[in-house]
Structure 1
Amino acid sequence: MSSTNELRQRNVDAQQSAAAPATTSDEGRKIDQFLDQHQTRVPYEFGGPWGVTAMMIGFPLLMYYLWICLWFYDGKLVSPASMDDIVPFLHRMWVHVRDDASPNAYAWKVYTGLIVFQLFLAWVVPGYQQEGLPVPSLGYKTLMYNCNALWSIYITMITAALLHYYNIFRLTEIINNYGHIMSVAMIYGFAVSFGVYFLTVATGNQIRMSGNFIYDVFMGACLNPRIGPIDLKMWAEVRIPWVIVFFLAVSGGCHQYEQYGYVTPNMAFMILATWLYLNACGKGEECIPQTWDMFHEKWGFMVIFWNFAGVPFTYVYSVVYMASHDPSKYQFSTPTYVLLYTTLLTAYYIWDTSMSQKSRFKMQTQGITKFRNTFPQLPWGTLKNPEFIQTAHGNRLLTSGWWRYSRKPNYVADWVMSFCWGVVIGGTTIIPYFYSVFFITVLIHRCGRDFERCSIKYAKDWERYCSIVKYKFIPGVY
């Protein structure tokens, strides 16, 4: 029997899935239990305690260095002129941090105000109730998620617009205080990471621990931290980084308009790109509980610091550059702008619909057939009669839609968008390309973790899946 016929024979359509949702077999539960603990055969990731310590120290220093190069040195990667210049060079770097990135009162007010306001909205705004996937570490219990990010985001936008219009809080000042706010964000990242770790251990809710303090702080101790109706992990993934990213782009646009009387197509591109991402996170929030981040990844420094400081202050270096340089340095021809915008929108379409296809397929296996309708709902976001492999574990592996051509089509499209965020300023400086370079490194590492876990979890069914979906990333290439 051919692979296609075999798949069709083992398929059920969405209505049948609703009547008979997938269940985990006894053997599958044993495998889940094995995977849901710290693996002694591969004790550590990221180079173990020394590796994660280096990242916890080195990444904040790198963030300061790249920002200083962009804002004060025309985007050039500066370095000591000689061995004798090392100490003076480090002193110059320190002076920039001390004077231009101090955690001043303005930065504390802005960043803390955002945190408090987003927590308040997450608590009080009505939302769409979405059931998550069964969690092995909770005895396959499912958690409910109040998905109100979309309304919270637009309430935030309207509030910010009114504050700007009435000169209560000028959006232009955000980009001008980039360094100061970044320092406060880093402090929050460290404080929340260590605070959550100690609180989790004190209450006895830690899971999948290695026994090494610094490594466990980095990887996290808790899986589903909550305050009332708020799932903190999902809240922090959407309401903090992407809101900041969007408003940094808007601030850059305001800065240009006040300085030149217009907003460049390049800055408008970044405002559009960041809005697309932020809006997608809000409109598809009910899909997030079905993802690896919610289902498996613990809430530790790796995730917390990245959401509170890493994403918002390293992904928009192009905005920082444009806000501090004359537009003549990065102007393009009209055909180039058309190509850039077209590439962004095409990649966004693939990313949005592939994420929707996968998440809604998982919902279908839980018997959920009615989906939330938010703007914009793009064609091919929900698959009818999807093909899949029914595994002995009990889960189903999707082999339809974009997922027929690549095991990670969403990653490919996501990376293309990240690359565009660097291309928008051309070749004036390589620093805005940091996002795409770092991102592809993270994605490859993440895929390695994911594929290894799947090979253990699904065994021969994973081999069969790989024989059908041959390419990890780009169809026909890799």
Structure 2
Amino acid sequence: MKTQILGFFTPWIIYALITLLHYFLPGKWVTGYVRHSTTGKLLSYKLNGRLVLLSTVILWLAAGHFELVAYDWLYEVRWFSLAGAVFFGLVFSLSIVLPYASTGKSLVSDIFLGRLENPQFKNGRIDAKMWLYLIGAVMLELNILSFIAHRYSEFGSVPAGLILSAAMLTYFIVDYLSFEKVHLYTYDFFAERVGFKLGWGCLAFYPYFYLIAIWATVNLPDPNTPLWLLVCYALLFLLGWSLARGANMQKYVFKTAPEKVFLGIKPKMISDGNKTLLVNGFWGLSRHINYLGEILMGTAIALSVGYPEVIWVWLYPIYYVALLLPRQIDDDKRCAEKYGELWQAYTQKVKYRVIPFLY
């Protein structure tokens, strides 16, 4: 019973630690893309995700070294930890929605999608969206380390495919936290509110579901995947990353310095005199080429563990498809309303929605 209780509250303790580190560690203040709903001023964000990640991992490894907690503790209490995160996510979601004015939609819609657009606390030192993504990313990394530690302690070795899958996820996390300012210009920040979808998603879903390929195969025999096949999976991941990161970076550069050349790509745009849209480079391939990149990365992570016949490993890339394709439809509708005839001209130049020459 003691282990169960400790396991349940483990994510609470870790989330509190991450919050304190985020608040007190130095960070870079960056002006974002979205504006305050009341004052109209551009919001500023304190960004220190990479430092928080490094500090948390060091503290976790130090705790294991000094036997304060087992290296594989999060694996041993995984179900209780997940339950604690689920409950914490529910409490947060209700507390960030119910005290605030309705959007005019149903209560269920408000709870799921949220009422506040970009809430910030402690004089802006904690932005709810950045905090949620930081919590999810750091907790995911600790789970990865713990699951790999369990595999090593039980079997004395870790399959190369499992290491590759863990490395891809870690790269995904480090990359995201290294380019936090770029993500201030993404759909989440200018189009979504903070409710169950984002709150519970980052606190309970993100840090546990994203490693489902490792979770489902960590105790299975070594599949002995050929080296050449692992190299192919790594290349598929890098292709996906190149599309996702390249597209987001090109958009960021275009938003902040419209005439600047990015990776040798001179920006081409169409304009109605007031608004402009980018129509070349990554954004000339499809309207949401970054979504294709995310799906390819998820597919590579699922394949790398070496058990394509295990259906659970495919839930991760399937989740991306289920999340991003409806988002693409919503984003297209939003852009059509915002840009009007300019958007129609844009879709004539960039005909494909996500997958070039196919969709």
Asked if these proteins are the same fold (TM beyond 0.5), I'd say yes
Quick one: which of 98, 101, 117 aligns to 2:17? 117
Q: Alignment partner of 2:354: what SS?
A: coil
Inter-CA distance 134–260: structure 2 relative to 1 (3 Å threshold):
closer
Q: CA deviation at 1:297?
A: 0.4
Q: Which amino acid aligns with 1:337?
A: L
1:397 aligns with 2:277: yes
Q: In structure 2, what is the equivalent of residue 193 of structure 1?
A: 93
Measure, in 1, the Cα distance between the counterparts of 2:353 and 2:227. Answer: 35
For each residue in 1:31-85, what CA deviation from the matched residue of structure 2 results, as whole angstroms up to 9, or x when unmatched? xxxxxxxxxxxxxxxxxxxxxxxxxxxxxxxxxxxxxxxxxxxxxxxxxxxxxxx
Higher alpha-carbon Rg? 1
Q: In structure 2, what is the equivalent of residue 224 of structure 1?
A: 118
Q: Alignment partner of 1:131: what SS?
A: strand
Quick one: which of 449, 464, 472 aligns to 2:330? 449
Q: In structure 1, what is the equivalent of residue 164 of structure 2?
A: 269
Q: CA deviation at 1:416?
A: 0.6
For each residue in 1:234-293, what CA deviation from the matched residue of structure 2 results, as whole angstroms up to 9, or x when unmatched? 1102x1222222222222211121122222112111221111111111110011221121
Q: CA deviation at 1:381?
A: 6.1
Measure, in 1, the Cα distance between the counterparts of 2:275 and 2:64. Answer: 50
For each residue in 1:363-396, what CA deviation from the matched residue of structure 2 results, as whole angstroms up to 9, or x when unmatched? 225x9x8xxxxxxxxxx9666642222245x333
1:437 aligns with 2:318: yes
Measure, in 2, the Cα distance between the counterparts of 1:455 and 1:299. Answer: 24
Kept after mapping to 1: 8 A contact 2:243/2:290? yes
Q: Which amino acid aligns with 1:227?
A: F
1:213 aligns with 2:107: yes
Query: Which structure has the higher relative contact order (CA within 8 Å, separation 6+)?
Result: 1
Structure 1 runs (4+) greater than 6 angstroms displaced? none
Q: In structure 2, what is the equivalent of residue 282 of structure 1?
A: 177
Q: Alignment partner of 1:199: what SS?
A: coil
Kept after mapping to 1: 8 A contact 2:93/2:111? yes
Inter-CA distance 431–453: structure 2 relative to 1 (3 Å threshold):
same
Q: Alignment partner of 2:55: what SS?
A: helix
Quick one: which of 132, 145, 149 aligns to 2:32? 132
Kept after mapping to 2: 8 A contact 1:315/1:432? no
Q: Which amino acid aligns with 1:224?
A: N
Gaps of 5+ in 2: none
Q: CA deviation at 1:408?
A: 0.9
1:412 aligns with 2:305: no
Q: In structure 2, what is the equivalent of residue 297 of structure 1?
A: 192
- TM-score, normalised to structure 2, is 0.92
Measure, in 2, the Cα distance between the counterparts of 1:138 and 1:246. Answer: 37
1:161 aligns with 2:58: no
Q: In structure 2, what is the equivalent of residue 462 of structure 1?
A: 343
Quick one: which of 328, 337, 341 aligns to 2:230? 337
Kept after mapping to 2: 8 A contact 1:360/1:382? no
Q: CA deviation at 1:137?
A: 3.4
Q: Which amino acid aligns with 2:137?
A: W
Q: CA deviation at 1:401?
A: 2.0
Q: Which amino acid aligns with 1:359?
A: Y
Within 5 Å, give how 1:362-377 maps onto structure 2. Answer: 362-364=255-257
Measure, in 2, the Cα distance between the counterparts of 1:129 and 1:301. Answer: 27
Q: Which amino acid aligns with 1:397?
A: L
Kept after mapping to 2: 8 A contact 1:252/1:267? no
Query: What's the C-alpha RMSD, in Å, of the aligned pairs?
Result: 2.2
Q: CA deviation at 1:430?
A: 0.5
For each residue in 1:377-428, what CA deviation from the matched residue of structure 2 results, as whole angstroms up to 9, or x when unmatched? xxx9666642222245x33312232111111111101101111222223333
Measure, in 1, the Cα distance between the counterparts of 2:263 and 2:31. Answer: 18
Q: Which amino acid aligns with 1:321?
A: A
Q: Alignment partner of 1:197: what SS?
A: coil
Q: CA deviation at 1:321?
A: 1.9
Q: Alignment partner of 2:307: what SS?
A: coil
- TM-score, normalised to structure 1, is 0.70
Kept after mapping to 1: 8 A contact 2:29/2:47? yes
Count of aligned pairs between the two proteins: 356
Measure, in 1, the Cα distance between the counterparts of 2:280 and 2:69. Answer: 48
Measure, in 1, the Cα distance between the counterparts of 2:36 and 2:191. Answer: 9
Q: CA deviation at 1:350?
A: 2.4
Inter-CA distance 400–130: structure 2 relative to 1 (3 Å threshold):
farther
Q: In structure 1, what is the equivalent of residue 354 of structure 2?
A: 473
Q: Alignment partner of 1:132: what SS?
A: strand
Q: CA deviation at 1:444?
A: 0.9
Q: Which range moves more in the overlay, 158-167 or 420-429?
A: 420-429
Q: In structure 1, what is the equivalent of residue 269 of structure 2?
A: 388
Q: CA deviation at 1:340?
A: 1.2
Q: CA deviation at 1:134?
A: 4.2
